[in-house]
Structure formats: C-alpha cells, structure tokens
Structure 1
Amino acid sequence: MTQQTDAAPRVRLNRDRVLHAAVALADKIGIDAISMRRLAQELDVVPMALYKHVQNKEELLDGMVELIISEIDPPQLDSDWKAAIRNRVLSARSTLQRHPWARQAIESRIHPTPAVLEYQDSFAGMFLAGGFTPDLAHHVMHALGGRMWGFTQELFDGSAAPAAQTPPRVDPEAQAAMFAQMAERYPNIVTIATATPHDADSVVGHGCDDQFEFEFALDLLLDGFEQLHRRGWSSTRAATGTPGSV
C-alpha cells in the first residue's frame, strides 16, 4: 500500500522560474543584496542548481533586465510616431516604478543584450516610420537618452543617488525657514522653487511633482523633434550654419 505524504511536489527549476524569482526578490531587497546564494535560498535549492540556468550573477542580471523589458508595452504601430513614442516611454516609466532597482541594473550592463538592442531598435524604427531621416533619428535618439527607459537625472534631486532612494520628508515649517534663509543669497532659485505647488510624495526630491516634470520634459523634446522633422533638419546643414538648420 502506497504511503501518503503531505509534502508538496517540488516545482521543476527552469530559467524562467529563476528569473521571475530574482525579479521578485530584487523588488523586496534591492539589486545590491541579490546573490546566487540568496536567490537559491529563496527557491529552496542549492546554489549549484542555479548555474544550470544562469552562469553567474551578470547573466542573471541580463535576464532580469530582459524580463523587465518584456513588461513594457510594445510599440503602437497604428499610432503616429509622436504618440507611439510617448506612450512607450511612459509605459517604461511605469514599469521601472514597479521595479525601482531596474534602472541601476540597466545602467550597469556593459554589453547590451539582444532584448536591450531590440528595445532601442524599436525606438529607431518608430522615428524612421514617422519619416525621420536616419541622420535626424540618430540625433533625437541621443537627445531622448535615458527617457527612453522612463528615467532621467533630475535637476533638483541634490545628488546622483539611485532612483530607488526616496528623499526624507521635509517638515513644512523647516522648509519655509530654509527658503527664507536661502532667499537672501539665492533669490532666483527660491522664486522658481516656490512658484509651483509641490508633491509631498514625490520620488524626485524636495517635493517636486516628478511625474509632471518628466512628462513636461518629454513633451518638450517630442515637440522639438517634430519641428526639426518638418524643417528637414540635417546635421550637415547645422554644422555649416545653413539657414533654417537651427
């Protein structure tokens, strides 16, 4: 007679399960705390079992980045280039906000993986499909920069701290006193810093509405790209100072 056991059958390990577990773990403890040993503990396996699916931590991070990219909405081929790029950038931003460690992982990749290259290629394809010349597409891709991934280095965050680090809350009375003190030496900064209501839950720093600021800058770039495209801009004309090139 076969004995019954209450032990649940062990789920077979594969690369997809390893990567999903790594992403979930990074969401909990951050990317710096991720190690093959720690991930093995999470999966209840010996560390050597992981090496059948990822050779080392660098390959693990590559796979985690690929998984994050797969969460970003695909290009909307039925939209005009401007709407398609805007929607994909904002989808990327939403994805990275769900996984605050992902920015650091993306920026740490020395060699672009196929998924990263395909993602970048999709942006180039949207510009080219919109009628941009390869020359203009090259330069607007540079200008778009990290916003392609949904992030940028903010002006008023006070440091080059990782995007996942949230600045401490500032007491309103202490902030008012600080502005009053600063106004004597830096009146222009105080004027613009206090001109707009601030968001206490901002992740940018000092209460700026980071989502609004991101979309504001993104729309400025897209509007500028559109104007250059309509004028038939080229880097050759700009370099020689040809009229209409700026």
Structure 2
Amino acid sequence: MTPSSPKSRTAAGLPPITAAKVAAAATALTARKGLDGWSVRDLAGELDVYPAVIYHHIGGRDAVLHAVTERVVAQMPCPPADLPWRDWFTEFLCEGRKVLRKYPGVARRLYLAGPTVPSAMRIIDRGVTVLQRAGFGDEAVDIYSYLVGTGFLHVDLEDERAERVEERLAARDAFLAHGNREDTPGLAAMASQLSTRGRTPAQIVKDDEQAFRYIIDLCLDGAETHLG
C-alpha cells in the first residue's frame, strides 16, 4: 500500500503522523506478523505514508524495533520490591511471558541485544536489588542475568514452536509408538508423559505455560543453591 497522493496529510484532512503513532503501528504489526515479519515499507503502508516519513519521525528499522521493544517491555510487570526473591522472579517471568508471547520476536531481541530500553532499567534495578537483599551478594547480577536470560530464551523457543505445531504433533506421535516397549524404558517413559499432552491449540498453550513454570522453578532451585 502506498499513499494515494503526495499532498500533505493536513490538506487531506488526516491527523498528523507522530513518533508515538509510528511506534504504535509497528507494535500492532509485530503482534500480527512478529518482529521480523514486516518491513519499513509495510509499516508505511499501514500508516498510509511514504517510508521517508518513518525515517523522519523515528529513524531506520532498528530505531523502530527499539521503539517497539520499549512499548512491549513497558507492559511487563515490575513486582513490588518487598516480595521474597523467588516470588518476585516467578511473577515477573511468568506474567512477563504472557506479554512477550503476544509479540513474537521481542523475546529474542531482548535475549540477543539486551534489554536496554528505558522501561527495562527499573525492572533490572529492582530485580538485582531484590537478589542483593536476599543474600546473593556479588552474584546478584549474574543470577539475575541467568534467570531472566533463561526465561527470555524459552519464550523465544515458544515463538518458534508456535509456527511448527504440526511438526510437534508428528514428533509426539513418533514417541507414542514406544509406549509399551520394555526394551526402551526411557522412550516408554517419554511416551507416557507425552500421552497426557493435548493436541488442540488451547491445550498446547496450556501445556507450554505449565512447562515454562516448571523450567522457571528449576532455575530458581538452582539459583537458591548459591545463597550464602
């Protein structure tokens, strides 16, 4: 989609374009297509402007991605500082996952490029402080990076797996073929567990949520061994 005419938006009776509107449109595109699923030209089409308008108000694609990441992270929770450290990270990661899953690709950007957007700074400061108060001392920063990085990485994997539902179901069925074989007890155990997993989209979402919580609990258990 391209602008219908070169005349100004004001002359056409259209509201002016602002950086906030560009970021909002890019965030909406990310929710529909994923962070890597659209171009600056696509974004310009959404706004009915020329791509040059995007560059004028925000900058190139990387600047737009930065703005999208900021808007997404701003939706993530920053739990109260007086929560016990395990409760703090459970709430942040599990509720934060729900936000990130709405915007495929943002978790990967956070994991690879680092959460450098303004809204992330308050979260990082509070999370590290919670760990310091809990008694992790000089390891607080490393423990924070481990817990949050693992959470973001797993969400990134969920984003990828969401595009491969049929492949996941086929792999599940392959394991189920080993359900009652005594010569492969490990595979039989895997089949027994997978037999309880759902096949519908709603059931798969529930299974993924439970798996995420289990992984976070394991990470918290591991971190707890470093206390004191």
Q: Per the shorter chain, which TM-score range?
A: 0.7 to 0.9
Return the match for 1:41 from 42, 45, 70: 45
Distance 1:38-1:195 versus aligned 2 partners, 3 A rule: closer
2:19 touches 2:57 (CA, 8 Å); kept in 1? yes
CA distance in 1, matches of 2:209, 2:122: 26
What does residue 188 of structure 1 align with? 186
What does residue 169 of structure 2 align with? 170
Q: TM-score, normalising length from structure 2? A: 0.76
| 1:226 has 2:224 as partner | yes
What does residue 62 of structure 1 align with? 66
| 1:72 has 2:76 as partner | yes
What does residue 214 of structure 1 align with? 212
Distance 1:15-1:184 versus aligned 2 partners, 3 A rule: farther
Quick one: percent identity of the two aligned structures?
A: 24
Q: TM-score, normalising length from structure 1? A: 0.71
Whichever residue aligns with residue 173 of structure 2, its letter is Q
CA distance in 1, matches of 2:133, 2:148: 19
Matched position secondary structure for 1:92: helix
Cα distance, 1:211 vs structure 2: 1.3
Cα distance, 1:116 vs structure 2: 4.2
What does residue 22 of structure 1 align with? 26
CA distance in 2, matches of 1:75, 1:103: 19
Distance 1:60-1:215 versus aligned 2 partners, 3 A rule: same
Q: What CA deviation, in whole Å up to 9, does each residue of 1:89-129 have, x standing for no partner?
A: 11110101222232233345379444445543332122123
Matched position secondary structure for 1:98: coil
| 1:198 has 2:217 as partner | no
Equivalence map 1:34-183=2 (5 Å) = 34-109=38-113, 112-135=116-139, 137-149=140-152, 151=154, 162-168=160-166, 170=169, 175=173, 179-180=177-178, 183=181
2:111 touches 2:149 (CA, 8 Å); kept in 1? no
Distance 1:54-1:121 versus aligned 2 partners, 3 A rule: same
Q: What CA deviation, in whole Å up to 9, does each residue of 1:41-84 have, x standing for no partner?
A: 10111111111222100111111111110010122223222212
Whichever residue aligns with residue 191 of structure 1, its letter is A
Structure 2, gaps ≥5 residues long: 1-10
Whichever residue aligns with residue 151 of structure 1, its letter is H
CA distance in 1, matches of 2:23, 2:183: 52
Larger helix fraction of residues: 2
Cα distance, 1:23 vs structure 2: 1.0
CA distance in 2, matches of 1:111, 1:71: 14
Whichever residue aligns with residue 189 of structure 2, its letter is T
1:72 touches 1:95 (CA, 8 Å); kept in 2? yes
CA distance in 2, matches of 1:20, 1:77: 30
Aligned length: 216
Cα distance, 1:149 vs structure 2: 3.4
CA distance in 2, matches of 1:181, 1:78: 47
Larger radius of gyration: 1
Whichever residue aligns with residue 175 of structure 1, its letter is D
CA distance in 2, matches of 1:142, 1:38: 35
Cα distance, 1:181 vs structure 2: 8.8
RMSD: 3.6
